[in-house]
Amino acid sequence: MAIATESVREKWSSRWVFILAATGSAVGLGNIWRFPYVTGENGGGAFVLIYLLCVVSVGIPIMMGETLIGRRGRKSPINAMRTLALEEGVSTNWRFLGWLGVVAGFIILSFYSVVAGWSVAYIFYVGGGAFAGTNATASASLFDSFTGSAWRIIGWHSLFMVTTGIIVARGVTGGLEKAVKWLMPALFVLLLVVVVYAMSTGNLGAAVDYLFASDFSELTSKSVLAALGQAFFSLSLGMGAIMIYGSYLSAETSIPRTIGLVALCDTGIAMLAGLAIFPIVFGFGLEPGSGPGLVFVTLTIAFGHMPFGQLFGALFFLLLTVAALTSAISILEPVVAWVVESFRWSRRKASGISALSAWVLGVGSALSFNQWADIRLVGKTFFDWCEFLSTTVMLPLGGLLVAVFVGWRMSKRATAEELGIGEGVLFQTWRVLVQVVAPIGVLLIFGNALVIFLQDINVLD
């Protein structure tokens, strides 16, 4: 396949715009929906600690790696990998890393849109007073009956996917920059409001204990794999999203400083979400390990009781929807950029067809909560499998390849040039992390979890 020589090369208008866009990509359902429920499924404190460790020692170094590949390659991930491989004189098979990303992107977008659709619906439910004075049982049963209706959740999924497709079709810089500038800070403030409310009415002590007191006896290697997957998912790593955002980044911007800030915002918001949700979980005697419905069940209880809860609640889900939208865009963007470059389709056509394909896959996820709820493979529904394969397998695998590529395949000079922090301690630390710590960490965690998984299947048989 010929390398596309020209592509739509827009550039961010400033470093801050990149920070906003990357934060917009990173902060989404992963922080507010996924982090709390995965933490709940994996027993709390020890999981959170391992998660933080994964962010710092594997996530941030790989995020810097993805950004520098994107900026140096200046193309969509598959073609950027190919360009850099040629530049460094290594095998162009490295472009398959980009392929892995495109496939992972489709799968993630498909279920992401389903869950984002729930958030859209909840703007109206909460705003319309469906949760006024609610209790734990009523809130949970409303969630169950909502997700139990296939046509309803497919409807909201469709609305969300169409919106994502339209925005990507129009190009990223115009509307998105402006939206992100105002809406992300607003989400942050509203999250703080819920945290304060949850702290004052829920069981704060139990929540803090649960989140930050580490009981390692609870920790299994599956949990460690889940923590790694969550770190990749939350930072938008391993599929080229950050790579393509990096490709729009100007040469003068400092990658380490910029990425550090993005990762800090992302992790901070996940912790805040935990502090908003777990006091309510324990205060109302809910089950932390109840799965994907967790935030929809807990936060709505808070909104059902706090002053102006109807208004704040509707606003909260509105902002969560926007946060999900800025993330969904970043999942679709690398796929579309690649289609445009490779098939020379118009951006509109590429966006439309890509979004439609992800939508079809998403219908499978939507049905997992109703018609297909009993169709399970090794205990997992279609939705569970999409989530597991993409986040827990493909993203860490993609990240591993990024680490090996920047650590071992690119010349030291080239990476040092892009990072722009000289070749001192900071650079050496980064290099050790991508060369040794990240690859070995990912491989160990994978290997271990695979063994457990195989044992599990035998046990089940």
By the 8 A CB rule, do 131 and 301 touch? yes
Q: Does 327 bind ligand TRP (CB under 6 A)?
A: yes
Backbone angles phi, psi at 54, to 5 degrees: -65, -40
Q: How far is the CB of 126 from ligand TRP (least distance, A)?
A: 20
Span 93-112, contacts to ligand TRP by CB under 6 A:
108
Q: How far is the CB of 47 from ligand TRP (least distance, A)?
A: 17
Exactly one of 23, 25, 113, 119 binds ligand TRP (CB under 6 A); which one? 25
Cα–Cα distance measured from residue 121 to residue 146, given in angstroms and rounded to the nearest whole number: 9
Region near ligand TRP per CB under 6 A, out of 29-37, 126-134, 157-165, 281-289 = 29-37
Residue closer to ligand TRP by CB (options 237, 306) is 237
Q: Does 231 bind ligand TRP (CB under 6 A)?
A: no
Exactly one of 67, 234, 300, 354 binds ligand TRP (CB under 6 A); which one? 234
Q: Give the residue closest to ligand TRP by C-beta.
A: 30
Residue closer to ligand TRP by CB (options 238, 283) is 238
Cα 429 from chain centre: 26
Q: How far is the CB of 27 from ligand TRP (least distance, A)?
A: 6
Structure tokens of 70? Answer: 């994107």
3-class DSSP state for residue 421?
A: strand
Cα–Cα distance measured from residue 205 to residue 282, given in angstroms and rounded to the nearest whole number: 9
Residue closer to ligand TRP by CB (options 241, 276) is 241
Residue closer to ligand TRP by CB (options 28, 441) is 28
Exactly one of 18, 21, 22, 30 binds ligand TRP (CB under 6 A); which one? 30
Cα–Cα distance measured from residue 371 to residue 425, given in angstroms and rounded to the nearest whole number: 56
Exactly one of 19, 21, 31, 262 binds ligand TRP (CB under 6 A); which one? 31
Exactly one of 4, 17, 21, 28 binds ligand TRP (CB under 6 A); which one? 28
**Residues 404-431 as b or e (16 or more Cβ within 10 Å = b):** bbbbebbeeebbbebbebeeeeebeebb
Q: Does 29 bind ligand TRP (CB under 6 A)?
A: yes
Q: Does 271 bind ligand TRP (CB under 6 A)?
A: no
Binding mask 136-175 for ligand TRP (x = CB under 6 A): ----------------------------------------
Q: Using H for helix, E for strand and C for coil, what is the string for 195-260?
A: HHHHHHHCCHHHHHHHHHCCCHHHCCHHHHHHHHHHHHHHCCCCCCHHHHHHHCCCCCCCHHHHHH
Residue closer to ligand TRP by CB (options 25, 39) is 25
Cα–Cα distance measured from residue 229 to residue 21, given in angstroms and rounded to the nearest whole number: 22
Residue closer to ligand TRP by CB (options 123, 265) is 265
Q: How far is the CB of 395 from ligand TRP (least distance, A)?
A: 6
Residue type, 123: I
By the 8 A CB rule, do 135 and 300 touch? no
Residue closer to ligand TRP by CB (options 38, 241) is 241
Region near ligand TRP per CB under 6 A, out of 22-30, 74-82, 182-190, 364-372 = 22-30
Cα–Cα distance measured from residue 325 to residue 323, given in angstroms and rounded to the nearest whole number: 5
Span 370-409, contacts to ligand TRP by CB under 6 A:
395
Cα–Cα distance measured from residue 452 to residue 446, given in angstroms and rounded to the nearest whole number: 10
* Cα dihedral across residues 32, 35, 41, 45: positive or negative: negative
Q: How many residues bind ligand TRP (CB under 6 A)?
A: 16
Region near ligand TRP per CB under 6 A, out of 21-29, 41-49, 140-148, 165-173 = 21-29
Exactly one of 97, 241, 243, 259 binds ligand TRP (CB under 6 A); which one? 241
Residue closer to ligand TRP by CB (options 30, 40) is 30
Q: How far, CA to CA in Å, does 400 sit from each of 47, 271, 433, 442?
A: 21, 26, 11, 7
- Please report where in the chains the tokens 């109206």 appear, as a residue: 124
Alpha helices in 235-381 (DSSP H): 241-247, 255-283, 294-305, 309-343, 347-367
Q: Which residues bind ligand TRP (CB under 6 A)?
A: 25-26, 28-31, 108, 233-234, 236, 239, 241, 327, 330-331, 395
